[in-house]
Structure 1
Amino acid sequence: MKLVIITAISEFENDIKKMLKGAKVKSYSYKDVKGFRDTSDENIGDNWFGSEISETDSVVFYAFILQQNLDTLFDEVSTFNKNQKSVSKVHLAVLTVDQYN
């Protein structure tokens, strides 16, 4: 059993739900969150927003997933990200769960 955490901009919410369904994840939780990025170290000319602090409407998903479905989810996310024309991507992290009840 693995715990996956997926973060992305809000516009990708329905796409993530489709990816989870494609990976046979039947139960998950998600929440609207504010994404934050401190761009104070970047060149102002490279900063689209023109300020040092950028907040974005985002979503975070949590799901317990079986190992055999994990590769499918990674493939779904990878394919989605490769096809994106925007700078923003879907981010997927996996945590090992030693015990659960």
Structure 2
Amino acid sequence: MKLVIVTAVEEFQKDVLKLFKNAKIESFSSSDIDGYKNAASLLMTNSWFPSVKGGNESSLFFSFTEDEKIDSLFSLIKEFNNNLETNNPIKAIVVPIEKYI
């Protein structure tokens, strides 16, 4: 069992849900996050007014799942990213799990 973590801009949230479904990953969690590309743009977006948001609205998904399903998900994400017309690819990482209950 491993932990897969996926991040995407908010516009791709439905696409990520489809990718998880197609990879047969049925149990996962998600959270809304703010994404930042680099420190320079972060500094440019700082504001004295707290109502001004600096990051891009993004989503984070994670699941504890089997290697085969992660391999399938990665293939689907690669295919999705190859057909993108934007500079905001879906990102994914895998973290090994030493113990779990």
Fold shared per TM-score above 0.5? yes
The size of the alignment, in residue pairs, is: 92
After the TM superposition, which residues 13-92 of structure 1 pair with which residues of structure 2 at under 5 Å, given as runs? Answer: 13-40=13-40, 52-53=44-45, 54-92=54-92
Match of 1:44 in 2: none
Deviations 1:64-83 (A, max 9, x none): 11111121101000000000
Q: Give secondary structure in 2 for the equivalent of 1:37.
A: coil
Q: CA deviation at 1:56?
A: 0.2
* Contact in 2 for aligned 1:33/1:58 (Cα 8 Å): yes
Instruction: Report the CA distance shift for 1:38/1:64 in structure 2 as closer, same or farther (over 3 A).
Output: same
Query: What TM-score results when the alignment is normalised by the length of structure 1?
Result: 0.84
Q: CA deviation at 1:52?
A: 2.6
Is 1:96 the counterpart of 2:88 in the alignment? no
